[in-house]
Amino acid sequence: MSNLPESRKLESIEMNPGQKLKIAGIEAPVFFGVVIVLLIGIYMEVLPQNLASGLIVAMVLGILLMWIGDQIPVFNTFGGGPILCILIPALFLYWGILPESVGTLTDRFYNEIGFSDFAVTGIIVGSILSMNRTMLMKIGVRFFIPLLSAVVAAILIGGSIGQLIGFGFGETIFYVVGPIMGGGMAAGAVPMSEIFASSSGESAGTVLAKIAPAVMVGNMICILTAGALNGLGKRKNRSKNFSGDGEILRVKTAAQKMDLSDPDESETTFSMNSVIIGIIIATSIFVFGKIVADLIPMFHSYVWIILGAAALKIFNVLPSSVEKGAEHWYELITKAWVPAILVAISAGMIDFKSVIAIVTDPSYISLTIITVIIAVLAAGFIGLLVGFYFVESAIGAGLGMADMGGSGDVAVLSAAERMGLMPFLQISSRIGGAIMLIILSFMAPFLM
């Protein structure tokens, strides 16, 4: 299985000895020249409200903020780039540093023009179709036990605690637990906000402003928890079942000895034709989701998109070259457009006043911390029962569900010093996050 989370972190800086600094493959002077031209256009307010303007504003600002965040020591280990992308545009609009036209432009580009459906569908479909099917079928079945246990425990215990402290059972599930356990921002919080909006009557932007802080704060807590688990796992007096030093299975089994590579996995190289195939298959599944949602409106179209892609993967319907095309389309989006998505969401949909009110609420922050702890403990202890080490199960199924998707996976495993667990965190972020969307879609009409 390819290490896709690395592609989620924008390759924004490239510099070897004797070479010039590059940002997103562009020499720094050229890139900053582009930034200056763009800012002049923004402040002169001459940019038309169309796809070209929306895309260049979101992409360039996203790449710039991603690069800045990834250069800040310590902060970059907490997902600095994505956090700046989701915070700075909304903050600058709140302070008046950016004109209101930027917010209007990015909102229309993302929602009215339909960039959200185009990009988010590519992320969902590509992330599922690029999963290692052999891993899913041979070890994934057992891994889903602690993963689902973490989800159920977080919902029931977290919701109950939220009710006891006055935050509310439904509010805790939809605005704290769900976003944290939903697979990140682009593939989790964004479709989640639209699902919630369809049931609550609020706008997707209003909902997203409420749930985005939980994703970001939860990600920071996950990284700190990963470091703590790594430290506890190195203790000399630890239980023999506590840590496997990177190995997840406690008992040697046939599954552990199996070759987990897909026998028919294609070696298709990244190419324009492959990306075209990915666009066609992803958007076709998007149409399928819309058709089924119209016939069975009980669930949001994203749920049917997830189920359709999962069925194609599980039943091995598509040729490997087509799955590779979906993977390459996914990689292109995560590299080039995830920063743009985050900037568009921040500038066009998030009211920073609402964010300030939320993050200064002690109940909200407390529930965020509690949710991560519940997920870790549930995944760790249930993992013991199915033959996993506590630390590895807690990281793979617990923190993998609670961190901020791809960049969060990398940061968590770096802090835990267990990069070998990446396939399991991929299952958590992608399949687990998709399952969370389905669960919340079912619950929303009854609790919102």
Shared domain check, 173 and 96: no
Shared domain check, 98 and 156: no
Domain range spanning residue 64?
5-114
Buried b (16+ CB within 10 A) or exposed e, 196-216: bbbbeebebbbbbbbbbbbbb
Shared domain check, 140 and 36: no
Shared domain check, 283 and 221: yes
Task: Decide: 368 and 217 in contact? Cβ < 8 Å.
Answer: yes
- Return the sign of the alpha-carbon dihedral for residues 400, 401, 406, 411: negative
Structure-token pair, residue 414: 């770096």
Task: Indicate the residue among 55, 87, 114 that finishes a domain.
Answer: 114
Per-residue tens of pLDDT for the chain, all 448 residues: 334 444 444 444 444 555 678 888 889 999 999 999 999 999 999 999 888 899 999 999 999 998 998 888 877 766 678 778 878 998 899 899 999 999 999 988 887 888 878 887 888 888 788 877 776 676 667 888 999 999 999 999 999 999 999 888 988 998 899 899 987 776 677 788 888 887 777 777 778 878 888 887 888 788 888 888 888 888 877 777 888 888 888 765 544 444 545 555 555 677 889 999 999 999 999 999 999 989 987 777 877 888 888 889 888 899 989 999 999 998 888 788 878 888 887 888 777 777 787 778 888 888 999 999 999 999 999 999 988 899 999 999 999 898 877 667 767 887 787 877 777 887 787 778 888 888 888 887 776 6
Residue-level pLDDT at 420: 72
Number of domains into which the chain is organized = 2
pTM of the predicted model, to two decimals?
0.69
Shared domain check, 15 and 143: no
Shared domain check, 392 and 338: yes
Task: Decide: 406 and 4 in contact? Cβ < 8 Å.
Answer: yes
Shared domain check, 129 and 60: no
Angstrom CA distances, 403 to 64, 204, 215, 267, 340, stand at 23, 22, 7, 30, 20
Task: Decide: 129 and 326 in contact? Cβ < 8 Å.
Answer: yes
Task: Indicate the residue among 71, 97, 114 that finishes a domain.
Answer: 114
Shared domain check, 279 and 191: yes
Shared domain check, 105 and 154: no
Shared domain check, 329 and 248: yes
Task: Indicate the residue among 98, 114, 130 that finishes a domain.
Answer: 114
Shared domain check, 308 and 416: yes
- Give the side-chain half-sphere CA count within 13 A for 212: 28
